[in-house]
A = this chain, B = another copy of it.
Amino acid sequence: MLAEFVKEAWYVAAWEHEVQRLSLYRRLVLGEPIVLYRTPEGRAVALEDRCCHRHAPLSHGTLRGDRVVCAYHGLEFDPTGACVRVPSQNRIPQGARIRSYPVVEKDHFVWIWTGDPADADPALVPDFLPLRDPAYRWRGERLHVEGNYVLIIENLMDLTHLPVLHATTLASSTIPDNEIPVCYSSNEREIRVDRRIEGTAPPPYFRMLAGFEPNDRVDRWMNTRFEPPGSVFIDIGAALSGTDASGSVNGRRVGTWNLNAITPETLTTTHYFWAQALDFADEDASISELDFQLVRSAFLEDLAIIKGQQENLDLDPGVPRVNLAADKAGVQSRRLLQSMIKPADCQ
């Protein structure tokens, strides 16, 4: 797997609700210790969780207004990372500062920029539209994965494991069938795997969700998009044949988004933020809850496999891998990540 990280990027550091007022939250991202907190105004801040003085974790400390106070000697750091008070002396030593990570709160995520702050363009934050679109009902969570981050991306960019690993969970609601055409596409910014079949019977699960009749004919789709380094968007749905089912138009249709933000914790562990969003009426929330639990069951199956892959990688990281046709998007994703790591190395 990749033994380095893409640093010049936005990563989800936390769900917004994980970062609460009056509390300090330590999290490793790309192997770096980070403390997350909120200012009195509620703005999320991400600082290096390591006092510049004696390396104590600032997350052991307290908040004073928008400043973090180190538990050890009381050094105070403002949200820019500058040391602004040293209780034992009047002068702030030169160079007394810790790293401050640019933060953007968007789509219920706290995003941090792990590269050069000068390059932290908020316009580059990935767009998790369904999480802020009122047409969607969603639920998400964070899972801890005992495996390298690339193993998760490969998992999501690959359609063919669904009917196998998830035979008893996702198989009836998702699309994979070797007969259904796949369209791969990619550029420097994203990798896509689109799958679509027209005029087919509505699957049981979607019939239940959208009230299709048994004799209806529907068009179904499953479109996956990887936006490096860590976002994967999967649009799965069905609509009555003949209506525009390309995603956003309503009708007799079902649209679901599986949304994934993958943040390396270390080279062998990963924070996995994901949500499931549905765009159809659901008065009592039971359908969206059912959908979330269905996908969750499948993800736990993935996590067990990924942990096993990592165990084998730990035993011998050099064993070659055989690629299949269906790995096209996974291989492209890995190469795209690799290309984003390389330039950083040369700087």
Interface majority SS (helix, strand, loop, mixed), chain A = loop
Is A315 part of the binding interface, using a Cβ–Cβ cutoff of 8 Å?
yes
A83 vs chain B, min Cβ distance (A): 8
Q: Which of A89-125 contact B (CB under 8 A)?
A: 89, 93, 95-96
Asked whether, in the complex, the Cβ of B164 is within 8 Å of the Cβ of A87, the reply is: yes
Q: Determine the chain B residues whose CB is within 8 A of the CB of A87 once the complex forms.
A: 160, 163-164, 178
Asked whether, in the complex, the Cβ of A308 is within 8 Å of the Cβ of B88, the reply is: no
3 closest A-B pairs by CB: A88-B160, A74-B164, A57-B308
Asked whether, in the complex, the Cβ of A325 is within 8 Å of the Cβ of B89, the reply is: yes
Asked whether, in the complex, the Cβ of A324 is within 8 Å of the Cβ of B52, the reply is: no
Number of interface residues of A (CB under 8 A): 54
Q: Determine the chain B residues whose CB is within 8 A of the CB of A158 once the complex forms.
A: 73
The 18 sampled A-B contact pairs (Cβ below 8 Å) are A33-B315, A53-B324, A54-B154, A54-B309, A55-B319, A60-B304, A60-B308, A69-B164, A71-B164, A72-B165, A73-B161, A73-B164, A73-B324, A87-B178, A88-B159, A88-B178, A89-B324, A93-B323
Is A86 part of the binding interface, using a Cβ–Cβ cutoff of 8 Å?
yes
Copies of the protein in its oligomer: 3
- Interface on A for B, CB 8 Å cutoff? 28, 31-33, 49-50, 52-57, 60, 69-74, 83, 86-89, 93, 95-96, 151, 154, 158-161, 163-165, 178, 304-305, 308-309, 311-313, 315-316, 319, 321-327
Identify which of B31, B55, B308, B324 contacts A93 (C-beta below 8 A): B324
Taken together as a complex, chains A and B put the C-alpha atoms of A24 and B165 apart, in Å, by 16
Asked whether, in the complex, the Cβ of A311 is within 8 Å of the Cβ of B160, the reply is: no
Q: Determine the chain B residues whose CB is within 8 A of the CB of A322 once the complex forms.
A: 52-53, 83, 93, 95-96
Asked whether, in the complex, the Cβ of B161 is within 8 Å of the Cβ of A305, the reply is: no
Asked whether, in the complex, the Cβ of B178 is within 8 Å of the Cβ of A72, the reply is: no
Asked whether, in the complex, the Cβ of B53 is within 8 Å of the Cβ of A312, the reply is: no
Q: Determine the chain B residues whose CB is within 8 A of the CB of A326 once the complex forms.
A: 73, 88-89
Asked whether, in the complex, the Cβ of B55 is within 8 Å of the Cβ of A312, the reply is: yes
User: Can you add 7 more A-B contacts, CB < 8 Å, to A31-B315, A93-B322?
Assistant: A32-B316, A52-B322, A71-B305, A72-B165, A86-B324, A89-B324, A93-B323
Taken together as a complex, chains A and B put the C-alpha atoms of A49 and B305 apart, in Å, by 13
Q: Determine the chain B residues whose CB is within 8 A of the CB of A325 once the complex forms.
A: 88-89
